[in-house]
Amino acid sequence: MRIDLLTREYPPHVYGGAGVHVAELAAVLRRSIDVRVQCFDGGRHEPGVVGHAVPAELADANPALATFGVDLRIADAVGRPGDRVAEHDVDGPAELVHSHTWYANLAGRLAALQYGIPHVVTAHSLEPLRPWKAEQLGGGYALSSWAERTAFESADAVIAVSAGMRQDILRSYPQVDPARVHVVHNGIDLDGWQRPTDAAELARADEVVRGLGIDPERPSVVFVGRITRQKGLPYLLRAAEALPPEVQLVLCAGAPDTPEIAAEVSGLVADLRTRRDGVVWIEQMLPRPDLIAVLASGTVFACPSVYEPLGIVNLEAMAVGLPVVGSATGGIPEVVDDGVTGVLVPIEQLQDGTGTPVDPQKFVADLAAALVNMVGDPARAAEMGVAARRRVEEHFSWEAVAESTLEVYRSVLPG
């Protein structure tokens, strides 16, 4: 059986949770079935992975149209035999396509129509719940929304990464049959996300964090995420004003969606720095060992998202042994066990698709109180961090995710 995973992101070009998901899922699935990855960003040298570039004539087009150009190339590649990588690989074309995010959804739909094969979609986010993307894509937002809706309404199966996401799918796309929507949580590479333990690892981690401007002797609140409306970074920056003076705020935040959100965050950081020290902003994407060092040096991980289907960043922080203070929205309550592995911050949100808090000041105040309480009790934070690692070990392994995904494949394949 050959399955083609269709994705914009794939290593080394990964900027969000979907790219992590596809890379980890592919690695585990390849142990038992033939998996080919069709991705964006041009040629790849990894066996079983084919990268596709934007057609030259679309290089200056709206990003959504350029994306569709890549989708056409991917749909064509799905029907072509590929090089065998493992003994169980097959010589023929794909028997099922599995697309991730709107970027690859159109490729999956076209391949399903062209070759008469099942199409499975995994929902990592939903365009109707990210209306701020109109700032980024202009008219392309209507195109991305159309591609996603078309794929979801026609897919043989839809995978939601959380029960909260499943509810969002059915609310956003009422034409989708609920029986076709399955919940399969994201996973975490347990071996790849561990707190440094031996002397050499600890020495290297210390060197890394000090080189980034972090004082490992001081408590710190850590944030990791892209600078986008859904991640709620401006709320965290306002809440940080209430942190005790000895507490650092460490922001691993880059790749702003728009100049407007970039300017807003830059202004808030500059303003915060006029009133306190210890505000460390790391804009470059860190390699995993360095990010683990940053997380391990922290006291608590902050996830102030207003939209978060699950939140792989929370799993990563928990795997390194950090408690999470996160918004009680989307799939976050399915990851963070409130009072055990962290604290959920209540958030009442507008139902206009933006996720904006009904009372932003109350949300900021509640977020600040939860963070202050956590950094003020380091023993409790450490205890929650141990529980957090245990929770990801028990509930979020990629082996479990892969087996559940295979069950979805079996449910739509003939015979």
pLDDT, one tens digit per residue, over 313-370 is 999 999 999 999 999 999 999 999 999 999 999 999 998 878 899 999 999 999 999 9
State pLDDT tens for residues 13-42.
Answer: 988 788 989 999 999 999 999 999 999 999
Angle at 287 between CA 284 and CA 292, to 5 degrees: 110
**Pairwise pLDDT comparison (77 vs 312), residue with the higher score:** 77
Note the pLDDT tens digit of each residue in 225-280.
999 999 999 999 999 999 999 999 999 999 898 899 999 999 999 999 999 999 99
Q: How far apart are CA 146 and CA 318, in angstroms?
A: 36
Q: What is the DSSP string of 359-394?
A: SHHHHHHHHHHHHHHHHT-HHHHHHHHHHHHHHHHH
CATH superfamily label, 2-187+397-412: Glycogen Phosphorylase B; (3.40.50.2000)
The mean of the pLDDT values for the chain is: 94
Question: Distances from the Cα of 33 to the Cαs of 84, 88, 224, 267, in angstroms?
Answer: 12, 7, 34, 50
Supply 161's token pair.
Answer: 């990464």
Contact 194, 320 (CB under 8 A): yes
52-56 contacts at long range (C-beta below 8 A, 24 or more positions apart): 52/77
Over residues 134-169, the pLDDT tens digits come to 777 788 999 999 999 999 999 999 999 989 899 999
**Residue ranges of the domains in the chain?**
2-187+397-412, 199-395
- Indicate the CATH number of 199-395 among 3.40.50.2000, 1.10.150.170, 3.40.50.11930, 3.40.50.2300: 3.40.50.2000
> Could you check whether 2-187+397-412 and 199-395 share the same CATH topology?
yes
Instruction: Tell me what pLDDT residue 415 has.
Output: 75
Q: Could you count the other beta carbons within 10 Å of the beta carbon of residue 294?
A: 23
Q: How confident is the model at residue 88 (pLDDT cuts 50, 70, 90)?
A: confident
Strand order in the sheet with 324-327: 279-282, 248-254, 220-226, 300-303, 324-327, 342-345
Contact 234, 265 (CB under 8 A): yes
- Considering only residues 16 and 95, tell me which one the structure prediction assigns the higher pLDDT: 95
Percent of the chain clearing pLDDT 70 (strictly above) = 100
Cβ(306)–Cβ(232) under 8 Å? yes
Token digits of residue 125: 């986010």
The DSSP string of 311-326 is -HHHHHHHHTT--EEE
Assign 344 to helix, strand or coil.
strand
> Is residue 90 scored above 90 in pLDDT?
no
Query: Within the chain, how many helices (H) and strands (E) appear?
Result: 15, 13
CA gap 301, 323 in Å, rounded: 6
pLDDT in tens, 205-215: 999 999 999 99
Predicted confidence (pLDDT) at residue 411 exceeds the cutoff of 90:
yes
Q: What is the pLDDT of residue 309?
A: 84
Using pLDDT thresholds of 50, 70 and 90, give the confidence band for residue 79.
Answer: very high
Confidence of residue 310 (pLDDT cuts 50, 70, 90): confident
Rounded Cα gap, residues 86 and 355, in angstroms: 45
Q: Residue 37: which of 414, 398, 45, 182 has the closest Cα?
A: 45
Instruction: Indicate the pTM of the whole model.
Output: 0.80
Q: How far apart are CA 307 and CA 324, in angstroms?
A: 16
